[in-house]
C-alpha cells in the first residue's frame, strides 16, 4: 500500500516526464495554482497584463496576490493555448498540455478541471517550475504550511492554504497519463485547446482595485 504522499509524488513525476518540467506541484485547481505562483513571484503592487478574453479567475488571482490588472485586447472572442501574465514569470496554461511544453525560468500553471481540458480529472491543476526553492515553497503552501507527514508529527512553523490535490484524483491522473503515450512509450503531442471567453475589460470589478 502506498501512502497518499507517494501517490501524489508519482503523479507529479509523470507530469514532469511528459511536460519536460524539472519540478511539478499539483494543487486542487489551476486558479489556486495561479495564486500561489503569483504570490511566490512577488507581484505585490505590480501591474500584470493579461488578455481581455480569459477565464474570470485569472484577474481575481492577480488581485488576491496583491497585483493590479491591465487588459490588452485580442482579436475575436477565442483564447487558444498558453499565455504569459505579463509583468510576471507566470503562465496560464489551462489550454495547453503537451509533450516538452515547459518554458525555462517560468511558473506554468496547468488545469485538469472541466470537460474541455486535455487531462480531464473533474478537478485539479499543477504548477511547473525549474526552481527547487519554488518547488519546496509550493509544496508546503498548498498543504496548510505542513510537511508531508502526519500533522501530529509535524513541526508546524508556516502558514499556508488548503490547496492539496485529493489523493484519489492524483491516482486517477496517474492512470490516465498513459493516453499521452504510444504503445511504444513515445510521448504524443497535443494540440492547444481553444475556448470562447467574455471580454473581462468591460467589468469594473477587475480594474477598480487599481485605484
**Cα separation, 100 vs 119, whole angstroms:** 16
Range of the domain at 67: 4-210
Per-residue pLDDT at 5 exceeds 90: no
What would the pLDDT profile of 71-103 be if each residue is shown by its tens digit? 999 999 999 999 999 999 999 999 999 999 999
For 20, 108, 118, 175, the CA distances from 101, given in Å and listed in that order, are 6, 9, 13, 21
- Among candidate residues 93, 122, 80, the one with its CA nearest the CA of residue 20: 93
Q: SS3 for 26? A: strand
Q: Report, as an integer, the average pLDDT of 7-27.
A: 97
Per-residue pLDDT at 1 exceeds 60: no
Per-residue pLDDT at 210 exceeds 70: no
Which residues make beta-bridge pairs with 91? Answer: 84, 108
Give me the CATH number covering residue 33: 3.40.640.10
Determine the pLDDT at residue 35: 98
Length of the chain: 211
| Residue 14: pLDDT band with limits 50, 70, 90 | very high
Question: Residue holding cell 519536460?
Answer: 20
Considering its fold, how many domains does the chain have in total?
A: 1
For 54, 78, 111, 138, 189, the CA distances from 81, given in Å and listed in that order, are 11, 10, 12, 24, 13
- Asked whether the beta carbons of 101 and 15 are under 8 A apart, the reply is no
pTM above 0.85, yes or no: yes
Amino acid at each position: 500500500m502506498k501512502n497518499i504522499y507517494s501517490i501524489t509524488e508519482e503523479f507529479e513525476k509523470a507530469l514532469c516526464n511528459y511536460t519536460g518540467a524539472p519540478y511539478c506541484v499539483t494543487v486542487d485547481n489551476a486558479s489556486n495554482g495561479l495564486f500561489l505562483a503569483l504570490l511566490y513571484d512577488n507581484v505585490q503592487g505590480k501591474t500584470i497584463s493579461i488578455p481581455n478574453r480569459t477565464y474570470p479567475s485569472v484577474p481575481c488571482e492577480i488581485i488576491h496576490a496583491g497585483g493590479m490588472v491591465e487588459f490588452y485586447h485580442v482579436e475575436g472572442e477565442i483564447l487558444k493555448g498558453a499565455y504569459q501574465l505579463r509583468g510576471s514569470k507566470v503562465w496560464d496554461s489551462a489550454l495547453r498540455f503537451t509533450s516538452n511544453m515547459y518554458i525555462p525560468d517560468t511558473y506554468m500553471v496547468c488545469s485538469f478541471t472541466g470537460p474541455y481540458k486535455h487531462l480531464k480529472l473533474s478537478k485539479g491543476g499543477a504548477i511547473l517550475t525549474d526552481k527547487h526553492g519554488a518547488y519546496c515553497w509550493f509544496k508546503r503552501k498548498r498543504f496548510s504550511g505542513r510537511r508531508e507527514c502526519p500533522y501530529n508529527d509535524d513541526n508546524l512553523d508556516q502558514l499556508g492554504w488548503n490547496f492539496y490535490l485529493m489523493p484519489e484524483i492524483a491516482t486517477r491522473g496517474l492512470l490516465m497519463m498513459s493516453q499521452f503515450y504510444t504503445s511504444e512509450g513515445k510521448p504524443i503531442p497535443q494540440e492547444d485547446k481553444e475556448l470562447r471567453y467574455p471580454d473581462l475589460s468591460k467589468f469594473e470589478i477587475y480594474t477598480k482595485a487599481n485605484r
